[in-house]
Chains A and B, each alone.
Chain A
Amino acid sequence: MGISKIGTPLEDAICEGIIYRLKSAPAGPVKYPYLIVSDNIENSNMSDHADIITISSFRRAKERLRKRKIRNGIGLEMMITPIRKLDGIGVAKWFEDIRDLRLFCHSTHCQLILSSGANSIYEMVSGRCFDAILRNCDIEPDKHWHGMEKWIEECLSKRVSV
């Protein structure tokens, strides 16, 4: 599939080479790499400690994000799976949102994150498909993945691990 790093919600078993998505920071040091994900823009307590804020609609979230003055280096994530259920116009609007979000991230020093949001193997998105989506939004895939890699490394280096 051409994807070297994946993120998944933490369940019982811990696998090597996977970055876990947590809703809140663990109480003590842990043996696995993790990122804190929040979908609550309003709750400053939640989003201040989060590495990633998941946005369902950038159109609606734009003003709130501007007012909240989110900190530099936070990841703003948009998922593909919920968009599959929309009609053509909805998908086209999502593509425009990605273009806007990219400009917003550029001006606020945030990281644009595109993720599959998969709940099953069929909902996963291959690297080639991600590249095609990025090209369609006038984003150079190589540059984007390079930025993502750097951003993930920076986020994980701040964490305390055993």
Chain B
Amino acid sequence: MLKRRPKRRYISILHAGQPSDAINMMIKRHMELFGCISTERAAIRLMQSENNRMIIRCKLEQLDSVLISIAFSELPAITMGISGSIHRLQKSISNSLVYC
């Protein structure tokens, strides 16, 4: 039987404070609201960080709960974009920054 790789989503976030603090606060909030099992299942990982922008990865099936954790994170953070691939996300962010 084929073992299918779970679908993931890459989320670009603009945050206050340090990237490690921002992602730890998000994971903490996710754990408080949705529990340890769901947080582990979400597999939230920091992929890239630059100044006050970072890209995190999570599983598609937990995307809504991750977005809620970002919105309610103690350290303010805002979702800038979501994509299925990191390259497409980077491209869309750079396009939107040009428009800004």
Contacts and interface: CB of A to CB of B under 8 A. Distances in A.
A81 B77 CA distance: 11
A127 B64 CA distance: 12
A3 to B, nearest CB: 11
B32 A125 contact: no
B29 interface: yes
Interface string B50-75: 00000000000001110110111110
A132 B77 CA distance: 15
B91 to A, nearest CB: 17
Contacts of B73: 84
A126 interface: yes
A122 B14 contact: yes
Given A129-B67, A129-B68, A132-B64, A92 B76 contact: no
A78 to B, nearest CB: 13
B78 interface: yes
B16 interface: yes
Contacts of A81: 76
Interface size bracket, A side: 20 to 34
Contacts, number: 61
B46 interface: no
B16 A132 contact: no
A84 B14 CA distance: 16
Contact of B32 (A87, A126, A133): A87
What's the interface size class on B, roughly? Answer: 20 to 34
Given A1-B80, A88-B29, A91-B32, A125 B16 contact: no
Nearest to A120: B76
A80 B33 contact: no
B77 A122 contact: yes
Given A84-B73, A91-B33, A122-B14, A128 B68 contact: no
A106 B33 CA distance: 27
A125 B82 contact: no
20 contacts: A1-B79, A84-B72, A84-B73, A84-B76, A88-B29, A120-B76, A121-B14, A122-B77, A122-B78, A123-B78, A125-B78, A126-B79, A129-B67, A129-B68, A129-B71, A129-B79, A130-B71, A132-B65, A135-B64, A136-B68
Interface of B: 14-16, 29, 31-33, 63-65, 67-68, 70-74, 76-80, 82
Ranked 5 nearest A-B pairs via Cβ: A88-B32, A122-B76, A132-B67, A132-B64, A129-B71
